[in-house]
Amino acid sequence: MATHNENTSKLGLNRNIGIMAHIDAGKTTTTERILFYTGRNYKMGEVHDGGATMDWMVQEQERGITITSAATTVYWQLFGKKFKINIIDTPGHVDFTVEVERSLRVLDGAVALFCAVGGVEPQSETVWRQADKYKVPRISFVNKMDRAGADFFGVIDQMRDRLGANPVPIQIPIGAEDDFQGVVDLVKDKAFIWEEGSDGTKVVEVPIPEDLEKISHDYRMKLIEGVAEESDELLEKFMEDPHSITEEEMINVIRTSTLDMSITPVMCGSAFKNKGVQMLLNAIIEFLPSPLDIEDVAGINPKTNKEEFRSADPSDNFSALAFKIATDPFVGRICFFRVYSGKLKAGSYVYNVSTGKKERISRIMQMHANKQEPLDVIEAGDIGAGVGFKKIHTGDTLTEDKHPIILEAMSFPDPVISIAIEPKTQKDIDKMSLALAKLAEEDPTFKVATDEDSGQTIISGMGELHLDILVDRLKREFSVECNIGLPQVNYKEAVTATVEHKETYKKQTGGRGKFAQIQFELGPVDKGEEGLQFVDEVKGGNVPKEFIPSVKKGFLNAMQNGVLAGYSVDNLKVTLKDGSFHPVDSDQLAFEMVAKVGYKAAAKMAKSVLMEPIMKVEVVTPEDFLGDVTGDLNKRRAILEDVTAKVGYQIVKAKVPLSEMFGYVTSLRSLTSGRATSSMEFDSFKEAPAFVSEEVIKKIKGNY
């Protein structure tokens, strides 16, 4: 039997990290190199050849992008100990933001990758904010130092300005672009260069180049100042003699400052040229947290509704969070989960708190991209995958049935774009609906619905690329050929005025009738409120207490279909003032109905408006085309926010309605001879102008 100390020391050797970045910053290449140096792969896979291990989906290999977060486990020797690193390679494309979100929720630390040329890009900002939200400590790696236009210090300034981070270099590059040779390690106060032709495995110590002596001294000073808050004595020591500080002292203090998120250590290299990845692995071990460094996880006990804590200890009660469901053609559905406390044996039962059902996990595996290695038992602080279960969804908490706890679930954005989809042959109808159900299980931002009026199957997602890939997966993984309609924007509706209304619902059908009457006020929600804000002000039992939840339920259901064009209403305030009932004819259903009917009547008077999704767009264009690009954006009803000049190119930031952005990538290509790039992500819903609203309503009403 392992003792507590043994268990905890074992946990101290674990790291659960994610690699996050903007598209094309080199995440997957970096992960490939990590697999190579840790002895996982004997050859190096390349994204551009379509041979990357982690991008194992056909779509990923074809497009050279990462779509699903793949989990893998590697081991790395440092300080004479063997460390275990669970890595989750997250996608960088904005349409797959949810993948990043759910991965960050279960990680302890992250490596933020930046391209030395592109610097901080829009998606870098999104993932950085997501990491802030889940309080994930991170280190940064400035990749592609060998590329033309690489600017290490420029990226650091951007991190400070755009991300509001406190980046502190722990390395500075020796040379850049074709001349990138090595780094000055500010912690060791030594310089290292990589031997050419050694796959980056041979690192040679050299004297610090003269031209870098002053810079490296200044940055070492900044590093020590950056962490001096943690240790005054270090600062004093440094003032007396800069060389008297030991490497160990530096590492400990940098680690403490990284864990409390007061600094982000920054390193540099070129993963493609095999430079700097081993040092990055060392830094992951040295500066990122083990499960023991993380605060106990908080959750709610569903039996008592009180907050409880679970610690990263195998002897504590078992709790885990399912953060991803994937479908494997050979083993069926796989559930990726992070164990926060206790341990789980293969073949044993877990209690799914979200469904209230017991599930058997027949096998537990450690994943290596899309290959599996079986485990007998998985313990606190580890990430694994289980098979054999019936109903587990993303975000479900798994526990022991005697000690349930609900861990904080993840929040997912609503889809912004929809298309109609139908199988090419009649016999594929059932096949398609099964396949869509599987895909919706895997991806919480992908929704499938049936249009009640036309009977069409409608699929919704986070962007054109997102839906494009899902349709492609239908074809390849499930052999379902589909026809797809034109993309439709997912509008919403909102009320802008507050009105008072009295509604009566009466039905007489031989014998017992139905009767309910309510008087209510309907309008926009108060500041800071979301969803249905329901206020009960009924006095004197005019509406019996047992019927009030039915009234609320009626309004909730009615919000699914707005009065303008049937789009859902997200936020609504209803104040129930008064009402009356009949001792025999009134029941729950009557009060639910009166709320639905009342909503329709009142919403028409409450100046309902159409809300359209607005996207945050960023275009990087050569200077020559700036006028054409901004002119085109203005035609698309864009609000230009900022134009930043860089050497040779301009960055245009704008907010543009989604309905105007279909096919934008193609038209931008033709405008700029293929030299400009763009990225967009969802920003918010804003009231649509009258002419757009009229057009949309006309279109919808014309369909009826």
Share of the chain residues as helix, strand and coil, in percent rounded to the nearest 5: 30, 35, 35
Radius of gyration of the chain (CA): 29
Q: Is the pLDDT of residue 524 over 60?
A: yes
Q: Could you read off the pLDDT of 431-450 as tens digits, one per residue?
A: 888 888 878 876 777 888 88
State the DSSP H helix or E strand holding residue 399, giving kind and residue range, or none if neither: strand 397-399
DSSP 446: -
Q: Is the pLDDT of residue 582 over 80?
A: yes
| Span 213-230, average pLDDT | 78
Q: Burial level of 524, CB count in 10 A (0-12/13-18/19+)?
A: middle
**Three-state SS annotation for 257-306:** HHHCCCCEEEEECECCCCECHHHHHHHHHHHCCCHHHCCCEEEEECCCCE
Chain length of the chain: 704
CA angle, 117 as apex, 114 and 118 as ends, to 5°?
A: 65
Within 559-625, residue ranges assigned H as helices are 588-605
CA 398 to the chain's CA centroid = 21
Q: What pLDDT is recorded for position 93? A: 43
Q: Could you read off the pLDDT of 457-507 as tens digits, one per residue?
A: 888 887 777 787 788 878 877 788 888 877 778 889 999 999 999 998 888
Q: What pLDDT is recorded for position 351? A: 87
Which tokens go with 412?
């997912």
Q: What pLDDT is recorded for position 704? A: 43
Residue 573 — very low, low, confident or very high, per pLDDT cuts 50/70/90? very high
| Span 292-318, average pLDDT | 82
Residue 657 — very low, low, confident or very high, per pLDDT cuts 50/70/90? very high
Residue 577 and residue 537 in contact, taking contact as beta carbons nearer than 8 Å: yes
**pTM: predicted TM-score of the whole model, two decimal places:** 0.63
Tell me phi and psi for residue 155, to 5 degrees.
-65, -40
Average pLDDT, the chain: 79
Q: Is the pLDDT of residue 137 over 50?
A: yes
Residue 597 — very low, low, confident or very high, per pLDDT cuts 50/70/90? very high
Higher-scoring residue by pLDDT: 39, 134 = 134
- Establish how many alpha carbons lie within 13 A of residue 618's alpha carbon, considering only the half-sphere containing its beta carbon: 18
Q: Could you read off the pLDDT of 206-215 as tens digits, one per residue?
A: 888 888 888 8
Higher-scoring residue by pLDDT: 369, 640 = 640
CA angle, 534 as apex, 533 and 539 as ends, to 5°?
A: 150
Q: Which of 40-44, 514-518, 594-598 has the lowest mean pLDDT?
A: 40-44
Q: Could you read off the pLDDT of 24-73 as tens digits, one per residue?
A: 666 667 777 777 777 644 333 444 333 343 433 333 333 333 323 356 77
Q: What pLDDT is recorded for position 266? A: 93
Closest CA to 297 of 397, 202, 222, 173: 397
